[in-house]
Amino acid sequence: MSESLKTPLYNEHLKLNARMVDFAGWNMPIQYTNLKDEHNSTRNHVGLFDVSHMGEIRFRGPSALPTLQWLTTNDVAKLNDGQAQYGLLPNDTGGLVDDLFIYCLKKDEDYLVCVNASNKDKDFEWMKSNNKFNASIHDESSLWGQIAIQGPKALELCDAIFDFPVSKMNRNEIKESEFQGYKIMVATTGYTGEAGCEVFVAAPGTEKLWQALLSHPLKPVPVGLGARDILRTEMKYSLYGHEIDDTTNPYEAGLGWAIKPTAKDFMSKNAILAVKEKGLNRKLIGFKMKERGIPRQGYQIKNSAGELLGVTTSGTHSITLDEPIGIAYVDAKFSSEGSEIYVDIRGKLTKAVVVKTPFVTK
């Protein structure tokens, strides 16, 4: 672990006695107190997350927009100043290099792209090698810390800390400002299903922002990666390396809403569409266990006769619902709500049922 990268908040985590683990090459807090308290604080109050390990890649210049239009699946041209969108970064065979968020700082000229920590170097190299229109592309990850503020009281906290009303911002917007002399960008995006924002802060100011948030009378709770994964699973949000990877067709993953094939051309467009037009053989579903057992990534999904139907991509015990839940790819014929499936848990076929997602609704 000593060789792992450290975020600007590393020392703050140690002060809080966080249990640290290696995650995507970063020394990160898996939990501070316990999963249940951290999870419930986010669902019912407000939680703080160090997400400084995420990657930030900047696209600038007159070729920024056409380059992003080519590289990603969503229609970046729709973004005006201060708007954001979720998108996908396809490879050259119709799979996915990554999923990402694109923030428009100045239309046609300046865009910030936030990518997964585990994929940052791969994404950056892919973007540079497929820079069809010669945009200015720079990896700014070392320049930024990032703190996610999530929960029912998150916007109240943000309004108290920042010099503008974050609560007045719409979903998927970004606003540039300053905090104690450090540049910040407040984005109303998140990964928990709760209200809140993600704050990009100039790296040297990350500790000051974290301390100011923690010391506020609202008493936000620091939350580690363990609870964060349960929160995102409850929302059936995809995680790279679980629900999506370089072999995933995004329509199978239920991400067709982030693909705009009639609006533009993009990398591997024909290969991606061909799978949809042929008819999907598998689909990503959510399920609940009907018998005792916790589903985990890699557990096979079968029918009552033991025939293979698919595989679990994520599974956990939902703290909100107090029951085991999972996400899996299954044969399309077994993907409808109410379908009975079985999870092979250490050789035992354990009954489950396909359910409507997200598992937790607000």
Asked if residue 96 lies in contact with residue 250, where contact means CB atoms within 8 angstroms, the answer is: yes
- Residue 144 · residue 57 · CB < 8 Å: no
- Rounded CA gap, 117 and 103, in Å? 17
> Where does 237-307 show beta strands of DSSP type E?
282-289, 300-302
Instruction: Compute how many other C-beta atoms are within 10 angstroms of the C-beta atom of residue 119.
Output: 22
Structure tokens at 139: 């990896």
Quote the pLDDT of residue 362: 76
Q: Are 324 and 293 in contact (CB under 8 A)?
A: yes
How many C-beta atoms surround the C-beta of residue 362 within 10 A? 9
User: pTM of this prediction?
Assistant: 0.96
Q: List, in sequence order, every residue forming a beta bridge with 311; answer none if it has no partner.
A: 300, 329
- Are 120 and 55 in contact, with CB atoms under 8 Å apart? yes
pLDDT at site 1: 41
Strands (E), 190-281: 196-202, 221-222
* Per-residue confidence (pLDDT) for residue 3, from 0 to 100: 79
Burial class (CB in 10 A: 0-12, 13-18, 19+), 17: exposed
Query: Using CA atoms, how far apart are residues 153 and 195, in angstroms rounded to an integer?
Result: 8
pLDDT, block means (10 residues), the chain with 362 residues: 84 98 96 98 98 98 98 98 98 98 98 97 98 97 98 98 98 98 97 97 98 98 98 98 98 98 98 97 98 98 98 98 98 98 98 98 84
d(CA 188, CA 167): 9
User: Smallest Cα–Cα separation from 187: which of 200, 202, 178, 204?
Assistant: 200
Q: How far apart, in whole angstroms, are the C-alpha atoms of residue 283 and residue 334?
A: 9
Q: Domains, the chain, ranges and CATH?
A: 5-49+142-234 (3.30.1360.120), 281-355 (2.40.30.110)
Transcribe 161-199 into DSSP letters: HSSS-GGGSPTTBEEEEEETTEEEEEE---SSSSSEEEE
The string of pLDDT tens digits covering residues 133-154 is 999 999 999 999 999 999 999 9
From 352, 345, 358, 267, select the one nearest 304 (Cα to Cα).
Answer: 352
The pLDDT value recorded for residue 187 is 98
Residue 104: C-alpha distances to residues 80, 136, 172, 187 (Å): 6, 15, 10, 11
